[in-house]
Amino acid sequence: MPEWEAPAKVNLSLLVGARRDDGYHPIRSLVQTLEWLDRLRVEVADEDRLTVEGADLDPGPTNLVWVAADRLAAAVGRSRPRLDFRLEKEVAVAAGLGGGSADAAAALAAVAEIMGVEHELVARVAAEVGADVPLFLVGGTCWMEGRGERVHRYRPPLEGVAAAVVVPPFELPTPAVYEMWDRLDGPEGPVWNERDLPPVLRAEGPLRNDLYPAAAALRPELAEWRAELTRVWGVDVVMTGSGPALFALFPSEDEAVEAVAAAPSEARAGAAAAVRPRGVARQG
């Protein structure tokens, strides 16, 4: 059974614009995929099945794996075969790490291979499945714009560093964070200290996550977690996506491993992962 890697991502910067008439907020985000991976296996079967290991997720038709498979079949204009999906979750869920979107991108790539669908159509469908899904078809260091549907690689890419990621023991629903951001009149997030950025990113000017003030307003303990990690790690700590996952960059994976080990034990999840130069990818 072919296996597809579905990586986590972190937002190195996330600039948010005022809500548009269609209800969406335009973004401009610098994103990096990581070697923190879910694994998706799929084969043609006698009936549809989705087995999830490692997380308590609904395996029904609203799961993004099925949404991706069905949207692709609809775009092609023909029925898809029955599919047996087996998803091994490692990436923390509901944390701002894009795990569900990465799984959907892996499903798109896998079903496209089974059905013989061209990449151009897969990329178009990805934007319909979810805002982060197109990113994971590209991967590496990327700019995302619009709702996330416009993705292009950042040059030169980030290399030779690792991220330490810690997920505090609570969740922050993305719609609630954006609603709070609107209520706060669209605040800017704290700017990442330039000395804690790899040299290749320093030319980009201020990098920040504009959703952080809204997330911290919803869950004040988020600021406590960020302050504690900053103290323990000795570097600037940043929130990814709409949170609550927090991360920092380190010169080596060993240093990132040490950082995660030093995090408070109450964390819901944590991982040290090297930066990844690609998105979803087939193994075997």
One domain, residues 227 and 198? yes
Task: Give the pLDDT score at 22.
Answer: 85
Residue 101 Cα distances to 7, 117, 128, 145, angstroms? 10, 20, 11, 16
Distance in angstroms (rounded) separating the CA atoms of residues 199 and 184: 33
Among the options 38, 132, 210, 236, which is catalytic? 132
Task: Give the pLDDT score at 24.
Answer: 86
Domain of residue 38 covers: 3-155
Among residues 126, 155, 184, the one where a domain terminates is: 155
Distance in angstroms (rounded) separating the CA atoms of residues 66 and 49: 10
Q: Is 89 a catalytic residue?
A: no
One domain, residues 14 and 147? yes
CATH number of the domain bearing residue 134: 3.30.230.10
Among residues 96, 126, 155, the one where a domain terminates is: 155
One domain, residues 166 and 151? no
pLDDT digits (tens, 9 = 90+) for 39-78: 999 999 999 999 999 999 999 999 999 999 999 999 999 9
Q: Name the DSSP class of 112.
A: H
> CA dihedral defined by 174, 177, 178, 182, rounded to 10 degrees?
170
N- to C-terminal Cα separation, the chain: 9
One domain, residues 220 and 151? no
Q: Is residue 282 part of a domain?
A: no
What six digits make up the tokens of 169? 């023991």
CATH number of the domain bearing residue 199: 3.30.70.890
The low-confidence residues of the chain, meaning pLDDT below 50, are none
What DSSP string runs through 36-102? EEEEEEEEE-SS-EEEEESS----STTSHHHHHHHHHHHHHTSPPPPEEEEEE--SPSSSSS-HHHH
Among the options 9, 38, 103, 210, which is catalytic? 9
Task: Give the pLDDT score at 1.
Answer: 77
One domain, residues 148 and 201? no
Q: Please calculate the CA angle 254-256-259 and round it to the nearest 5 degrees.
A: 115
Q: Is 132 a catalytic residue?
A: yes
One domain, residues 50 and 148? yes
Q: Is residue 267 part of a domain?
A: yes
Q: Name the DSSP class of 150.
A: E
Task: Give the pLDDT score at 256.
Answer: 98
Determine if residue 68 is left, alpha or beta; phi over 0 gives left, psi from -120 to 50 gives alpha, anything else beta: alpha
Number of domains in the chain: 2
Q: Which residues contact 203 (CB under 8 A, 6 or more apart)?
A: none
Task: Give the pLDDT score at 18.
Answer: 92
Task: Give the pLDDT score at 45.
Answer: 96
Q: Is residue 151 part of a domain?
A: yes
Is the separation of the CB atoms in 8 and 37 below 8 Å?
yes
Distance in angstroms (rounded) separating the CA atoms of residues 115 and 81: 8
Q: Which residues contact 79 (CB under 8 A, 6 or more apart)?
A: 73
One domain, residues 39 and 140? yes
One domain, residues 42 and 89? yes
For 219, other C-beta atoms within 10 Å of its C-beta total: 18
